[in-house]
A = this chain, B = another copy of it.
Amino acid sequence: MAGNSFGVLFRITTWGESHGKAVGVTIDGCPAGIGLDEEDIQKELNRRRPGLFPGASPRREADKVEILSGIFEGKTTGTPLALVVANVDIDSGPYEEIREVFRPGQGDFTYHRKYGIRDHRGGGRASARETLSRVAAGAVAGKILAPLGIEIIGFSRAIGDVEIPEEALEQLSTERVGANYLSCPHEETAKKMEEALARAREAGDTLGGVVEIRVRGCPPGLGEPVFDKIDADFAGALMGIGSVKGVEVGSGFAASRLRGSQANDQMSAQGFISNHAGGILAGITNGEEIVLRVACKPIPSIARPQRTRDTGGREVDLTLGGRHDVCALPRIVPVCEAMVKLVLADHLLRQRALAWQ
């Protein structure tokens, strides 16, 4: 077990490199009897496909998923699901220049130091392509959540320093998020984000941002203190996505500047009066909307020369060829959603096993 499995009861194991033969995921612990077909998964994969973005990464994969096991006559059988997506559009040629050179901000240096061997082609295992497996597995997890009325909405909360104002989120819905390619549910902000992106692109530079994920309809009682608290699991799941450098729940870092009388969510007979906690108290869901925010650093592959080292320790000036995305945020949104779904499905099963009666 070298870190490629996630979850306790709804447990996935992912595999695959950017320029290997395929990427995939095995899901062990999916309950039997759930209706599932490839289209259920495909539509989620399509949301994270490269090339949907003006000026985006030119790789054009069909990203066609195939279910190799665990299904019989349209339903899960309780046996492991194996999902595979072939790598079709592979041209490793452009990566030859980084075979012995460490790209700044990427995993090149650390993979080299850790394993002593590195598949440099397309970033190998550290490529964003790995997240295909997560999104595919998340789609299956979603089939457990949806019938319970649990809805997950992820969106671009900020790109660079352009952020959706809090009050503009009152009308948040999946439809509004899907209205533009930036996954930004506020049109006015989306326009400013586009302008910021245009400026960065002109400068040969890239932008990061903040993804926000909200979960509606989650029942109270999910989470297993003291180490598998659901906020701890969300934090671990989200921080483990490439480029993520911060995670917060509810009021998050802002809560550290509030007083107790402000931060506490008081209750009336009708329920909680506020939601600074972001739906989680003492690591257990309280039935309120779950609110998570994820800070993403800018894409490290920029069109400007950078100083770095090669495997022999020599200093090198590196200018990456090829076209690259200016901002990964819209493609990170479905990955964040997938991880949130995986955490929720796992905790639902765990709670079911131990539920007090």
Contact = CB atoms under 8 A, between A and B. Distances in A.
Contacts of A258: 208, 297-298
Interface residues on A, range: 35 or more
Nearest to A296: B256
Given A8-B1, A209-B256, A82 B22 contact: yes
Given A3-B228, A117-B77, A256 B266 contact: no
Interface string A280-314: 11111111000000011111111010111100011
A32 B77 contact: no
13 contacts: A5-B227, A13-B28, A22-B82, A32-B117, A105-B263, A109-B220, A109-B281, A110-B286, A114-B222, A114-B223, A232-B237, A260-B301, A269-B315
B227 A240 contact: yes
Contacts of A200: 259
A252 interface: yes
Given A2-B29, A269-B314, A315-B268, A205 B307 contact: no
Given A5-B5, A33-B356, A352-B353, 14 more contacts: A1-B9, A4-B79, A4-B225, A77-B118, A109-B286, A110-B220, A117-B356, A126-B282, A229-B240, A236-B236, A240-B283, A246-B247, A255-B297, A350-B353
Contacts of A20: 68-71
A207 interface: yes
A300 to B, nearest CB: 5
Contacts of A330: none
A106 to B, nearest CB: 7
A231 interface: yes
Nearest to A298: B260
Contacts of A238: 235
In the complex, the count of this chain's copies comes to: 4
A130 interface: yes
A104 interface: yes
Contact of A114 (B6, B267, B351): B351
A113 to B, nearest CB: 4
A80 B14 contact: yes
Interface string A315-357: 1000000000000000000000000000000000111111111
A150 to B, nearest CB: 16
B295 A124 contact: no
Interface string A93-127: 00000000010111101110111111100001110
Given A31-B355, A79-B17, A267 B70 contact: no
B266 A307 contact: yes
Contact of A260 (B72, B237, B300): B300
B124 A79 contact: yes
Given A79-B4, A261-B205, A302-B264, A256 B210 contact: yes
Contact of A125 (B30, B33, B79, B111): B79
Contacts of A67: 21
A22 to B, nearest CB: 5
Contacts of A252: 245-246, 295
